[in-house]
Amino acid sequence: MSAAGPGGRIQPSRPGDPLRVGPYRVVGRLGAGGMGTVYAAITDGGERVAVKVIHPVQAGDPEFRARFRREVRLSARVRGPFLLPLLAADPDADAPWLATPYAPGPTLASHGPLTDGLLYAFAAGTAQAIAAIHSAGVVHRDVKPQNVLLTPAGPRMLDFGIAHAADGTSVTRTGVLTGTPGWISPEHYRSGVTAAEGDVFAWGALVAYAATGRLPFGTGAPEAVAYRVMSGPPDLESIPEALKELLERALAKEPAERPDAAEAVDSCVRLLAAERTQVLDDNRAVEAGNNPTLVGDLVTAQWSVPAMEDPSWPNFVSPQQSSSRRRAVVAVLVTAVVVGAGAGGALAFRHKDSQTSAAAGSTASTDAKDATGTDASGAATDATASAGAGVTGQTATDPHVIPVPAAPLAGVTAPAFTRADDETQPVPGEWNASRDAADTAEQETATAIRDQVTAMLATKDMSFMTPTVTFNRQAQTVVVTGGPISTLTDDYKEVFRRAGQMASCAALAHRLKDAPTSWPYGRFSVYWKDYDVQEEVTILGFGKATDGCYTEEAGQRQGTDEGIVTAEIPSTDKDEIRIANGTVKAITSAWNTRVAEGHGLEPFDRDDAITLGFDPVERMMYVWAWDGAGALAGRAQQSHFQDVVAKTACPRLLSEYNANKHWNYTHWAIAAYEGNSGQPQLFTSGDCLPKAHS
């Protein structure tokens, strides 16, 4: 299991996956193996990292924990241009972990043969990596195609600290043959000896594989491969002669007959230099071979592996871009797009497991029926379905049936707010000129905005971002400011922006509706402050309450790209968690039943394909499916899925709506991640309430 991951698309997080590991924010999975799970994560500055977290069973073994602690110490020794260095680790944590930079690109195992200068660059780069490992007193012991990434910047060797120190102290259990058949040295087969010469042997096999796409000692049963390694010649057919001679030496049966890694670097540098337009002489080639920086320059000059399109990682936009267009999504937490979306893990609600993310600090109800009247399978009972058929027990003063005015100044001839048609964004100085609330109306408005922002953020465990609300009378603008926090990532700021804009818009729309000729504020802006003495704060967004606060088409609330990003952040609200768990199970069951009935429908290609989350900003429930096989490719299929979602989810949402005055979710939207796309495609939205109530 590589801590760097395969460089492919991020897989969604699963229930129980952490939201953070050490200082890193988890946005999905890169892979899993016998030792643990590798998570895709980001730093507070937005850098991508891969974090390997050890399985609890392994972590509970004192012997394993001691070996892992030694692995960390060994890894920390190693630095080089073609390695992924250890960034941080905590071998004493409840779940031990280590982190390396994330490197995009396929492994050699999935790429195919290399030729000409690219082949020599690969040979030189990987030899230099092994030389750096050996110079730090470490032996890799698992050199193979799966542990080499072909990144746009050159090859990168993975998992260099896992196995063995050059002083002979094993990190893995003694008496157990380790390694992968075909990449194990003859002496290791014979006596279990693991030393630097074994890495050189595996390097020779690695470069031969890179040149031909064939395993140099063939395939088959491990015993047959071991016999050929110990007694047969390697398959080096069609490899360029100069490189072939070097590989024959590296693949010698006797360790003493092999070059060391530094000598292999020198030989590869000469081969690589010969590919240059201006050929280096022997002295300059030797000089380059002794200088890792020069080796790096030579490799880079011949390297031509294109950057992989990697849409599953979060995409960042600058705060300036974010402020100029509401639909600029900073998706750090998404699970296949984003942040994140499923931040921390990308989402806590999945069909397979009724437990939520452990990091969210909440668990789903394990009662036979939840509060919405679902049984253990997630199917709605008759009582729930009938109770949810309409809205009952609501009064005019119930806060979640009071609509936000969409056009609060309609028909007003002389409003106090005179900037309704002014599209000008905030100018420098507006923030500095804003002041605290001066009268009762302003104080009440500031409290309403602050409370609403905090309530929205609390459902995503972000309530620590308490806003400050000030007023600029001349600009007729209410100003919402977050911070000061200098280390907050853009994904958090994006959610803060949305919450600040929505809370401001709703509060101002009500004020404008109630007192149109005396209330002067109809404009709002949202800023972020990194530190106390900051003179010019960052503008995140702005708008007006006269334009409507929700995204609508023909009076129907619509899902948005920003909304699904926020929805993919795991919830920490116990009611949302409870409803989501039962609803996901019920939708999955209903869809499987619909597929079994015919209708020309195909099942999803994974059991946990259906997921849902809540966006507290626009009060929308999002349901989306990971649709790798195209089950929702056509309009008819999407129509069936929409019907299943509406008939299954609405009784639950309305039942909670009737019972819980704080429950705001009756609107829904549906999306799909089609094929290998990292961007969800929103294809329909709807509302469970009759039009008069929504």
Residues serving a catalytic function are 142
Q: What is the DSSP string of 21-33?
A: ETTEEEEEEEEE-
24 phi, psi to nearest 5 deg? -105, 145
Nearest to 412 by CA among 515, 506, 527: 515
Sign of CA dihedral 18, 24, 27, 33: negative
CB 340 within 8 A of CB 558: no
* Whole-angstrom distance, CA of residue 75 vs CA of residue 549: 53
Distance from CA of residue 653 to its chain's centroid? 29
User: Identity (one letter) of the amino acid at 200?
Assistant: V
Distance of CA 396 to the CA centre of its chain: 43
User: For residue 59, what are the CA distances in angstroms to 65, 175, 194, 266, 484?
Assistant: 6, 21, 25, 42, 38
Q: What angle do CA 279, 285, 291 make, to 5 degrees?
A: 135
Location of structure tokens 């009737």? 658
40 in Cβ contact with 24 (< 8 Å): no
- Rounded-to-integer distance, Cα 644 and Cα 139, Å: 56
Quote the CA–CA distance of 113 and 212 in Å, as a whole number: 5
CA distances from 527 to 443, 576, 618, 624, 680 (A): 19, 29, 20, 31, 28
Q: What is the 3-state secondary structure (H, E, C) of 465-493?
A: CCCEEEEECCCCEEEEEECCCCCCCHHHH
Cα separation of 315 and 77, whole Å?
33
CA quadruple 74, 76, 81, 84: dihedral, nearest 10: 90
Chain-centroid distance, C-alpha 68: 26
Beta strand 610-615 with 339-340 is unpaired
Beta pairing class for 339-340 and 332-333: parallel
Backbone angles phi, psi at 41, to 5 degrees: -145, 170
Report strand pairing: 36-42 vs 24-32. antiparallel
Structural contact between residues 269 and 124, judged by C-beta atoms closer than 8 angstroms = yes
Crossing angle for the helix pair 116-135 and 292-302, to the nearest 10 degrees: 160
Rounded Cα distance, 443 and 451, in Å: 12
Dihedrals φ, ψ of 158, to 5°?
Answer: -110, 165
For the chain, the first-to-last Cα distance in angstroms comes to 50
Q: Which two tokens stand for residue 306?
A: 């294109």
List the alpha helices (DSSP H) in 597-634.
none
* The token pair that represents 399 in the structure block: 């806060």
How many Cβ atoms sit within 10 Å of the Cβ of residue 309? 10
Cβ atoms of 248 and 118 within 8 Å: the answer is: no
List, in sequence order, the alpha helices (H) in 28-141.
56-59, 62-77, 116-135
Measured CA to CA, the distance from residue 196 to residue 469 in angstroms comes to 64
Q: Which helix (H) or strand (E) holds 646?
A: helix 635-659
